[in-house]
Amino acid sequence: MSTHRQFINQPDHVISEALEGLAATYPHLLALDASASLISRVHPAHEKVGLVSGGGSGHEPLHAGLVGTGMLDVAVAGAVFASPTAQQVHAGTTLADGGAGVLQIVKNYTGDVLNFQIAAELAADDGTMVESVLVDDDLASDSENDGPGRRGTAAVITVEKICGALAEQGADLPTIAAVGRNVVARSRTLALTLDGCTHPGEISPAFTLNANEVEFGVGIHGERGTGRIPFAAADALTEQLVTPLVESLGLKTGQPVIAIVNGLGGTYPLELSIIARRMHEVLRGRGITVARSLVGSYVTSLDMHGVSITLTAADDNLIAGWDAPVRTPTLTW
Protein backbone atom coordinates (compact mmCIF):
# COMPACT_ATOMS: atom_id res chain seq x y z
CA MET A 1 0.00 0.00 0.00
CA SER A 2 1.25 3.43 -0.85
CA THR A 3 1.85 5.89 1.97
CA HIS A 4 0.67 9.46 1.80
CA ARG A 5 3.56 11.49 3.10
CA GLN A 6 3.05 15.22 3.66
CA PHE A 7 5.03 18.41 3.98
CA ILE A 8 4.27 19.05 7.62
CA ASN A 9 6.31 19.47 10.78
CA GLN A 10 3.87 18.34 13.45
CA PRO A 11 0.18 17.59 13.02
CA ASP A 12 -0.66 19.93 15.92
CA HIS A 13 1.10 22.84 14.24
CA VAL A 14 -0.33 22.67 10.72
CA ILE A 15 -2.94 25.42 11.18
CA SER A 16 -0.76 27.95 12.97
CA GLU A 17 2.18 27.40 10.62
CA ALA A 18 0.03 27.61 7.48
CA LEU A 19 -1.60 30.85 8.68
CA GLU A 20 1.84 32.30 9.42
CA GLY A 21 2.97 31.38 5.94
CA LEU A 22 -0.10 32.92 4.34
CA ALA A 23 0.27 36.17 6.27
CA ALA A 24 3.97 36.33 5.42
CA THR A 25 3.18 35.84 1.73
CA TYR A 26 0.61 38.66 1.58
CA PRO A 27 1.83 41.28 4.06
CA HIS A 28 0.21 44.06 2.01
CA LEU A 29 -3.21 42.30 2.24
CA LEU A 30 -3.44 40.23 5.38
CA ALA A 31 -2.88 40.48 9.12
CA LEU A 32 -2.70 37.48 11.45
CA ASP A 33 -3.98 37.21 15.02
CA ALA A 34 -2.24 33.99 15.98
CA SER A 35 -3.91 33.70 19.39
CA ALA A 36 -7.39 33.24 17.86
CA SER A 37 -6.31 31.96 14.40
CA LEU A 38 -7.83 35.00 12.67
CA ILE A 39 -6.79 36.36 9.29
CA SER A 40 -8.03 39.89 8.64
CA ARG A 41 -7.41 42.72 6.21
CA VAL A 42 -4.18 44.54 6.98
CA HIS A 43 -6.07 47.81 6.40
CA PRO A 44 -9.45 47.26 8.07
CA ALA A 45 -12.39 48.81 6.24
CA HIS A 46 -14.62 51.27 8.07
CA GLU A 47 -18.19 52.41 7.64
CA LYS A 48 -19.14 49.25 5.79
CA VAL A 49 -20.73 45.99 6.85
CA GLY A 50 -18.01 43.56 7.94
CA LEU A 51 -18.00 40.03 6.56
CA VAL A 52 -16.71 37.18 8.69
CA SER A 53 -16.58 33.55 7.74
CA GLY A 54 -14.67 30.53 8.88
CA GLY A 55 -14.90 26.93 9.80
CA GLY A 56 -12.66 23.93 10.01
CA SER A 57 -9.31 23.99 8.24
CA GLY A 58 -8.32 21.64 5.44
CA HIS A 59 -10.42 23.55 2.88
CA GLU A 60 -7.74 26.02 1.79
CA PRO A 61 -7.68 28.50 0.16
CA LEU A 62 -11.10 28.90 1.84
CA HIS A 63 -11.59 31.09 3.94
CA ALA A 64 -8.39 32.98 4.73
CA GLY A 65 -7.45 33.21 1.05
CA LEU A 66 -10.63 35.18 0.41
CA VAL A 67 -9.90 37.99 2.85
CA GLY A 68 -9.41 41.34 1.16
CA THR A 69 -11.17 44.17 -0.62
CA GLY A 70 -14.45 43.02 -2.13
CA MET A 71 -14.74 39.83 -0.10
CA LEU A 72 -14.17 38.91 3.57
CA ASP A 73 -12.97 41.16 6.35
CA VAL A 74 -12.06 38.31 8.69
CA ALA A 75 -11.61 34.55 8.41
CA VAL A 76 -11.60 32.29 11.49
CA ALA A 77 -9.74 28.99 11.27
CA GLY A 78 -10.61 25.92 13.32
CA ALA A 79 -8.62 22.70 13.52
CA VAL A 80 -8.71 20.37 10.50
CA PHE A 81 -12.39 19.71 9.70
CA ALA A 82 -13.48 21.04 13.12
CA SER A 83 -15.35 24.24 13.88
CA PRO A 84 -13.48 27.12 15.46
CA THR A 85 -14.62 27.71 19.03
CA ALA A 86 -17.34 30.21 19.94
CA GLN A 87 -14.66 32.34 21.55
CA GLN A 88 -12.62 32.46 18.33
CA VAL A 89 -15.68 33.31 16.24
CA HIS A 90 -16.66 35.97 18.77
CA ALA A 91 -13.20 37.54 18.43
CA GLY A 92 -13.47 37.37 14.62
CA THR A 93 -16.95 38.90 14.62
CA THR A 94 -15.80 41.75 16.84
CA LEU A 95 -12.75 42.34 14.65
CA ALA A 96 -14.93 42.48 11.51
CA ASP A 97 -17.17 45.20 12.94
CA GLY A 98 -16.34 48.52 11.30
CA GLY A 99 -19.39 50.22 12.75
CA ALA A 100 -22.06 49.06 10.28
CA GLY A 101 -22.65 45.58 11.65
CA VAL A 102 -21.32 42.17 10.73
CA LEU A 103 -22.54 39.47 8.38
CA GLN A 104 -21.52 35.95 9.35
CA ILE A 105 -21.32 33.53 6.44
CA VAL A 106 -21.68 30.03 7.87
CA LYS A 107 -21.46 26.67 6.13
CA ASN A 108 -24.15 24.34 7.43
CA TYR A 109 -22.44 21.95 9.85
CA THR A 110 -23.65 21.36 13.41
CA GLY A 111 -20.49 22.65 15.10
CA ASP A 112 -20.09 25.69 12.86
CA VAL A 113 -23.73 26.66 13.22
CA LEU A 114 -23.62 26.34 17.00
CA ASN A 115 -20.39 28.25 17.49
CA PHE A 116 -21.29 31.06 15.07
CA GLN A 117 -24.71 31.39 16.70
CA ILE A 118 -23.19 31.63 20.16
CA ALA A 119 -20.62 34.13 18.87
CA ALA A 120 -23.42 36.19 17.33
CA GLU A 121 -25.18 36.34 20.70
CA LEU A 122 -21.99 37.32 22.51
CA ALA A 123 -21.27 40.01 19.91
CA ALA A 124 -24.84 41.29 20.06
CA ASP A 125 -24.46 41.65 23.83
CA ASP A 126 -21.41 43.85 23.16
CA GLY A 127 -23.58 46.03 20.92
CA THR A 128 -22.54 44.64 17.52
CA MET A 129 -25.31 44.15 14.95
CA VAL A 130 -24.99 40.64 13.55
CA GLU A 131 -26.82 38.74 10.84
CA SER A 132 -26.03 35.31 9.45
CA VAL A 133 -26.31 33.62 6.10
CA LEU A 134 -26.38 29.84 6.32
CA VAL A 135 -24.92 28.19 3.23
CA ASP A 136 -26.51 24.79 2.57
CA ASP A 137 -25.92 24.05 -1.10
CA ASP A 138 -24.89 20.37 -1.16
CA LEU A 139 -27.49 18.50 -3.16
CA ALA A 140 -26.25 15.06 -2.06
CA SER A 141 -27.24 15.70 1.57
CA ASP A 142 -30.73 16.92 0.64
CA SER A 143 -33.23 14.93 2.69
CA GLU A 144 -36.84 15.10 3.79
CA ASN A 145 -35.86 14.06 7.30
CA ASP A 146 -35.65 16.34 10.29
CA GLY A 147 -31.85 16.10 10.26
CA PRO A 148 -29.07 18.66 10.04
CA GLY A 149 -30.05 19.54 6.44
CA ARG A 150 -27.89 20.05 3.35
CA ARG A 151 -24.19 20.60 3.98
CA GLY A 152 -22.51 23.85 3.09
CA THR A 153 -19.87 23.56 0.38
CA ALA A 154 -18.47 25.53 -2.57
CA ALA A 155 -21.40 27.93 -3.05
CA VAL A 156 -19.88 29.74 -0.09
CA ILE A 157 -17.48 31.29 -2.64
CA THR A 158 -20.37 32.79 -4.63
CA VAL A 159 -22.03 34.05 -1.45
CA GLU A 160 -18.82 35.64 -0.16
CA LYS A 161 -18.08 37.25 -3.52
CA ILE A 162 -21.50 38.79 -4.07
CA CYS A 163 -22.09 39.84 -0.44
CA GLY A 164 -18.55 41.22 -0.35
CA ALA A 165 -19.26 43.38 -3.39
CA LEU A 166 -22.46 44.76 -1.85
CA ALA A 167 -20.71 45.52 1.42
CA GLU A 168 -17.97 47.39 -0.44
CA GLN A 169 -20.65 49.43 -2.23
CA GLY A 170 -22.14 50.47 1.12
CA ALA A 171 -25.28 48.30 1.22
CA ASP A 172 -26.74 47.85 4.71
CA LEU A 173 -26.69 44.67 6.75
CA PRO A 174 -30.28 43.45 6.16
CA THR A 175 -29.91 44.00 2.41
CA ILE A 176 -26.65 42.08 2.18
CA ALA A 177 -28.01 39.24 4.32
CA ALA A 178 -31.12 38.98 2.13
CA VAL A 179 -29.04 38.83 -1.05
CA GLY A 180 -26.76 36.23 0.54
CA ARG A 181 -29.75 34.03 1.40
CA ASN A 182 -31.07 34.48 -2.11
CA VAL A 183 -27.74 33.33 -3.58
CA VAL A 184 -27.85 30.24 -1.36
CA ALA A 185 -31.42 29.46 -2.43
CA ARG A 186 -30.35 29.68 -6.07
CA SER A 187 -27.22 27.51 -5.67
CA ARG A 188 -26.60 23.78 -5.57
CA THR A 189 -23.38 21.77 -5.54
CA LEU A 190 -22.60 18.13 -6.23
CA ALA A 191 -19.26 16.36 -5.81
CA LEU A 192 -17.56 13.05 -6.51
CA THR A 193 -14.13 11.68 -5.80
CA LEU A 194 -11.71 9.04 -7.01
CA ASP A 195 -10.07 8.68 -3.57
CA GLY A 196 -10.43 9.47 0.12
CA CYS A 197 -8.35 12.22 1.69
CA THR A 198 -5.58 11.78 4.21
CA HIS A 199 -5.38 13.81 7.43
CA PRO A 200 -2.14 15.60 8.25
CA GLY A 201 0.13 13.18 10.06
CA GLU A 202 -1.68 10.06 8.86
CA ILE A 203 -0.35 7.83 6.15
CA SER A 204 -3.52 6.32 4.77
CA PRO A 205 -6.71 7.90 3.48
CA ALA A 206 -10.01 7.91 5.38
CA PHE A 207 -11.41 5.49 2.79
CA THR A 208 -10.14 3.78 -0.33
CA LEU A 209 -11.81 2.84 -3.58
CA ASN A 210 -11.20 0.16 -6.15
CA ALA A 211 -10.08 1.18 -9.62
CA ASN A 212 -13.60 0.66 -10.99
CA GLU A 213 -15.34 2.76 -8.31
CA VAL A 214 -16.14 6.43 -7.82
CA GLU A 215 -17.51 7.83 -4.56
CA PHE A 216 -20.51 10.00 -5.43
CA GLY A 217 -22.09 12.74 -3.33
CA VAL A 218 -19.15 13.48 -1.05
CA GLY A 219 -18.93 16.55 1.18
CA ILE A 220 -15.76 18.38 2.15
CA HIS A 221 -14.83 16.58 5.35
CA GLY A 222 -13.44 13.38 3.95
CA GLU A 223 -16.57 11.44 4.78
CA ARG A 224 -18.10 8.82 2.54
CA GLY A 225 -20.53 9.94 -0.13
CA THR A 226 -24.08 8.87 -0.73
CA GLY A 227 -23.14 5.97 -2.96
CA ARG A 228 -20.72 4.47 -5.43
CA ILE A 229 -20.90 4.69 -9.16
CA PRO A 230 -18.78 2.93 -11.77
CA PHE A 231 -15.63 4.68 -12.87
CA ALA A 232 -15.99 6.25 -16.32
CA ALA A 233 -14.37 8.83 -18.58
CA ALA A 234 -14.35 12.47 -17.44
CA ASP A 235 -17.19 13.48 -19.76
CA ALA A 236 -19.58 10.87 -18.39
CA LEU A 237 -18.71 11.62 -14.76
CA THR A 238 -19.14 15.35 -15.36
CA GLU A 239 -22.60 14.79 -16.78
CA GLN A 240 -23.56 12.90 -13.64
CA LEU A 241 -22.78 16.02 -11.63
CA VAL A 242 -24.31 18.62 -13.95
CA THR A 243 -27.62 16.95 -14.81
CA PRO A 244 -28.98 16.59 -11.24
CA LEU A 245 -27.97 20.20 -10.49
CA VAL A 246 -29.85 21.51 -13.53
CA GLU A 247 -32.90 19.49 -12.56
CA SER A 248 -32.93 20.39 -8.89
CA LEU A 249 -32.54 24.10 -9.63
CA GLY A 250 -35.18 23.83 -12.35
CA LEU A 251 -32.94 25.65 -14.84
CA LYS A 252 -34.71 26.48 -18.10
CA THR A 253 -33.45 27.44 -21.52
CA GLY A 254 -32.02 30.94 -21.48
CA GLN A 255 -31.22 30.91 -17.74
CA PRO A 256 -27.78 32.39 -17.02
CA VAL A 257 -25.70 30.65 -14.34
CA ILE A 258 -22.55 31.29 -12.37
CA ALA A 259 -20.59 28.03 -12.31
CA ILE A 260 -17.72 26.84 -10.14
CA VAL A 261 -15.72 23.78 -11.14
CA ASN A 262 -13.90 23.14 -7.89
CA GLY A 263 -11.04 20.75 -7.23
CA LEU A 264 -11.12 19.03 -3.83
CA GLY A 265 -7.37 19.30 -3.31
CA GLY A 266 -5.81 16.44 -5.26
CA THR A 267 -7.26 17.12 -8.69
CA TYR A 268 -4.83 18.80 -11.04
CA PRO A 269 -5.68 21.84 -13.18
CA LEU A 270 -5.54 19.87 -16.45
CA GLU A 271 -8.28 17.57 -15.16
CA LEU A 272 -10.41 20.49 -13.97
CA SER A 273 -10.29 22.10 -17.42
CA ILE A 274 -11.42 18.85 -19.03
CA ILE A 275 -14.34 18.72 -16.59
CA ALA A 276 -15.12 22.40 -17.24
CA ARG A 277 -15.18 21.74 -20.97
CA ARG A 278 -17.80 19.05 -20.61
CA MET A 279 -19.85 21.12 -18.14
CA HIS A 280 -20.02 23.91 -20.74
CA GLU A 281 -21.11 21.41 -23.43
CA VAL A 282 -23.84 19.92 -21.26
CA LEU A 283 -25.21 23.29 -20.20
CA ARG A 284 -25.04 24.67 -23.75
CA GLY A 285 -26.93 21.62 -24.93
CA ARG A 286 -29.74 22.56 -22.54
CA GLY A 287 -29.71 26.20 -23.60
CA ILE A 288 -28.27 27.37 -20.28
CA THR A 289 -25.79 30.23 -20.48
CA VAL A 290 -22.68 30.09 -18.33
CA ALA A 291 -22.53 33.81 -17.60
CA ARG A 292 -19.47 33.56 -15.35
CA SER A 293 -17.38 30.68 -14.09
CA LEU A 294 -14.41 29.77 -11.98
CA VAL A 295 -12.26 26.71 -12.45
CA GLY A 296 -9.73 25.80 -9.77
CA SER A 297 -9.33 24.42 -6.27
CA TYR A 298 -11.08 26.82 -3.89
CA VAL A 299 -12.96 24.69 -1.37
CA THR A 300 -10.81 21.65 -0.83
CA SER A 301 -10.92 18.56 1.33
CA LEU A 302 -7.20 18.19 2.08
CA ASP A 303 -5.73 16.12 -0.77
CA MET A 304 -8.94 14.57 -2.07
CA HIS A 305 -8.81 13.61 -5.73
CA GLY A 306 -12.31 14.83 -6.39
CA VAL A 307 -14.30 17.62 -7.96
CA SER A 308 -17.45 19.56 -7.19
CA ILE A 309 -19.60 21.59 -9.52
CA THR A 310 -21.67 24.49 -8.20
CA LEU A 311 -24.35 26.20 -10.24
CA THR A 312 -26.07 29.43 -9.21
CA ALA A 313 -29.11 30.64 -11.14
CA ALA A 314 -27.96 34.20 -11.82
CA ASP A 315 -29.55 37.49 -12.79
CA ASP A 316 -28.06 40.85 -13.79
CA ASN A 317 -27.66 42.02 -10.20
CA LEU A 318 -25.89 38.88 -9.07
CA ILE A 319 -23.62 38.99 -12.12
CA ALA A 320 -22.79 42.64 -11.37
CA GLY A 321 -21.87 41.59 -7.82
CA TRP A 322 -19.71 38.80 -9.17
CA ASP A 323 -17.97 41.21 -11.57
CA ALA A 324 -17.25 43.88 -8.94
CA PRO A 325 -13.57 44.38 -8.14
CA VAL A 326 -11.94 41.99 -5.70
CA ARG A 327 -8.44 41.81 -4.33
CA THR A 328 -7.63 38.79 -2.19
CA PRO A 329 -4.84 36.22 -2.27
CA THR A 330 -7.10 33.79 -4.14
CA LEU A 331 -9.42 35.91 -6.28
CA THR A 332 -8.34 39.18 -7.87
CA TRP A 333 -10.03 41.08 -10.67
Binding mask 81-110 for other proteins (x = CB under 8 A): -xx-xxxx-x-------------------x
Query: In the bound complex, what is the minimum distance in angstroms from residue 219's beta carbon to other proteins?
Result: 15
* 59 is an active site residue: yes
Query: In the bound complex, what is the minimum distance in angstroms from residue 121's beta carbon to other proteins?
Result: 8
Q: Which is nearer to other proteins, 146 or 316 (CB)?
A: 146
Q: How many of the chain's residues bind other proteins (CB under 8 A)?
A: 17
Position 117 contacts other proteins (CB under 8 A): yes
The interface region with other proteins, picked from 61-69, 77-85, 265-273, 305-313 by CB under 8 A, is 77-85
Position 79 contacts other proteins (CB under 8 A): yes
Q: Which is nearer to other proteins, 54 or 61 (CB)?
A: 54
* 199 is an active site residue: no
Query: In the bound complex, what is the minimum distance in angstroms from residue 109's beta carbon to other proteins?
Result: 11
Binding mask 262-281 for other proteins (x = CB under 8 A): --------------------
Question: Can you give the chain as a three-state secondary structure string?
Answer: CCCCCCCCCCHHHHHHHHHHHHHHHCCCCEEEECCCCEEEECCCCCCCCEEEEEEEECCCCCCHHHECECCECEEEEEEECCCCCHHHHHHHHHHHCCCCCEEEEEECCHHHHHHHHHHHHHHHHCCCCEEEEEECCEHHHCCCCCCCCCCCCCHHHHHHHHHHHHHHCCCCHHHHHHHHHHHHHCEEEEEEECCCCCCCCCCCCCCCCCCCEEEECCCCCCCCCCEEEECCCHHHHHHHHHHHHHHHHCCCCCCEEEEEEEECECCCHHHHHHHHHHHHHHHHHCCCEEEEEEEECCCCCCCECEEEEEEEECCHHHHHHHHCCCECCCCEC
Candidate list 63, 90, 199, 221, residue with the active-site label: 221
Q: Which of 121, 126, 247, 315 binds other proteins (CB under 8 A)?
A: 121
Position 122 contacts other proteins (CB under 8 A): yes
The interface region with other proteins, picked from 113-121, 184-192, 194-202, 206-214 by CB under 8 A, is 113-121
Positions marked active-site: 59, 221
Residue numbers of the site for other proteins (CB under 8 A)? 78-79, 82-83, 85-88, 90, 110-111, 114-115, 117-118, 121-122
